[in-house]
Amino acid sequence: MDRPRLAILIPAFREAATIGKVVAAAREHGDVIVVDDASPDATAEQAAAAGAIVVRNERNRGYDGTLNRAFEEAVKRGYTHAVTMDADGEHDPALVGTFKTLLMGDGVALVLGVRPRKQRFAEIVMGLYVRLRFGVADILCGMKGYDLKLAVANDGFDHTNSIGTELAINSLRRGAGLRQVPVSGTRRQDAPRFDRLIRANLRIFAALGHIIRDDAKHLFGFAHRRAMKR
């Protein structure tokens, strides 16, 4: 039987200043796959120089599209588990070791990071709903750990532009075991690369609307099936 293998998946866009240090530290815990989202700077070169497996998008695909590519690459290469993290140093790479122990040592299928603060108003609103519905403290934290069987069961990472939440939410609906881990790191001083403030809030509200619609369909279907059995 093959030994479990961990891939650390990092989506990156214009992160040449930080990606090398992040990759070097993360490689202490597993193989690093960086998907460069058609950056105009030296992001890809810096990641490769630090020892990452680098995949480059020919055109800009955004956060979810870039992580889709990362998960496809990890599954294709035969990895059994994955941890996602940001390229800007906001997530401490040393925490990958904790995620790895929970995933591969303790057999937890889904490990979710919890940041010390929310950054946007829409995150607070979405966080309240998801906490009440699923018991998750910070569904939008970019540092998450997965048994890659979850991605296979979901037929990929994302189909709905969910800002990195679809696979986790659908896995919880399917009964995946969950652990939550406080995460920290260096808070970036400039604007996030993948989305600006107003657009990011709108995308978060759109993702929340999709979750609520799916929950309503699930609850309606459950009620219908229960009524049919009477």
141-175 pLDDT, tens digit each: 999 999 999 999 999 999 999 999 999 999 999 99
79-95 pLDDT, tens digit each: 999 999 999 999 999 99
pLDDT attached to residue 224? 43
Q: Where are the domains of the chain?
A: 6-229
- The conformation of residue 122, written as its DSSP 8-state character, comes to H
DSSP letters for 5-18: -EEEEEEESS-TTT
pLDDT attached to residue 21? 97
**pTM, whole model, 2 decimals?**
0.90
For 6-229, give the CATH class.
alpha beta
Instruction: Spell out where 15-121 has E strands.
Output: 31-36, 53-56, 81-84, 110-114
Longest dimension (CA), the chain: 64
Share of the chain above pLDDT 90, in %: 80
Q: Residue 52: is its pLDDT beyond 60?
A: yes
Q: What is the mean pLDDT of residues 187-203?
A: 66
